[in-house]
Structure 1
């Protein structure tokens, strides 16, 4: 059998979450490509895994790819691991996996822990339709733009956030999504100080502001999608615009709709154009 690249999930906190298969694979491969060899060495020592480690992270992945692909072509099985959880989920590894696929090398997942899915499964928000948004921008201006784009999403959204930014990010979410929007807060999943709660964004901001311990560790936010109330508002606006468009031009109808509803004229004008096109 030709060599394989194994994408191996590792525990996100509790070491007992390591799977038997993951241990067997890590013991059997020729080399383990790790995001942080020092971090992974601790896990390997715990499970008596003596396989050599090599660093493969954001800063060297592009330079390391050719070396690893060459070893795979020669018949050496390689395992890819991140510091914790499933590789590529807000962690390095995408470039290596893509290169393996492009070179006809089999990529085999060894599933296990993933903070995003663990949080989604435990906070009590709809899980039938969700999106993973990763980390938001560290710059507030960019973060606000990202949140504005997500504001109207009706599905559940999963976001990772750094502890030193969590308070500011939640404050921005309150401003953009509204303080009543429901959110799941999952911190330090599977670890000693695990915290899993569901509340409104306004309540979450007050909770983490009053307890600095909640501003530490690995944090996952699971945010409820926009409610049907937004759909009803859009339906009412459409009805108003359609009636006005029977007697007025697009420009006049959108201006009057903006005056009556308080919405921005540009938004009303764009929607009036869309309705006009749809009815042509």
Structure 2
């Protein structure tokens, strides 16, 4: 039996009662509403939607839902996504796929699962949930998970809880993920169209160094910016710190100012 409840008068929250079997013979898609503060000096928040697909008992993919054209886009409007990354969890590890200045990179690390689980039980949208805490990517997180939904793969890099995470938020208030829908997969999985071959395997430390070097003096680098419509802009450093160099530095600083509070504090994005 499926019960639909209105959320913010916009979206429907689909519940699967605990009597229904959450098996892995059929996969699940879980949609999250993400509220976050892109600029740490401001109190303005932005909303995006991300989807978690459970592909098997040990494998999942998490991605920005704007990648797909669906009727829900009419609720989101025309927007440039900030959370442009894809994460695949498998066998207690995750692969993070990202892009910075046309560097399409992927790095992998073990999943962090050292949760501090509380015995405190509360209700969240009709489910009994427990609270758990963890530190990840320079932030402290609080999760509400439902033991009655035996899905241990989580959104983003979160994993290992004995139940699906329905909500998770950072203690600093900068990021919040809230599940608004869970359904069985009825369409082609996003992973079938995701082109992993264009990403270069690198160590996370090397990516952090690359980004850090770029941020110190952006206009001394060759720069390629691509917006969400596919429009491209190329800049090549002439070797001289002339007006073109100064203009580009100012432009990049302005772009970086649109999103200077990434969820992983060392993995920045260029939002053009």
Asked if TM exceeds 0.5, the reply is: no
Answer 1 or 2: which has greater helix percent.
1
Compare relative contact order (CA 8 Å, sep 6+) and give the higher one, 1 or 2.
Answer: 2
* TM-score, normalised with respect to structure 2: 0.28
Task: Mark the structure with the bigger radius of gyration.
Answer: 1
TM-score by length of 1: 0.27
| Structure with greater proportional strand content | 2
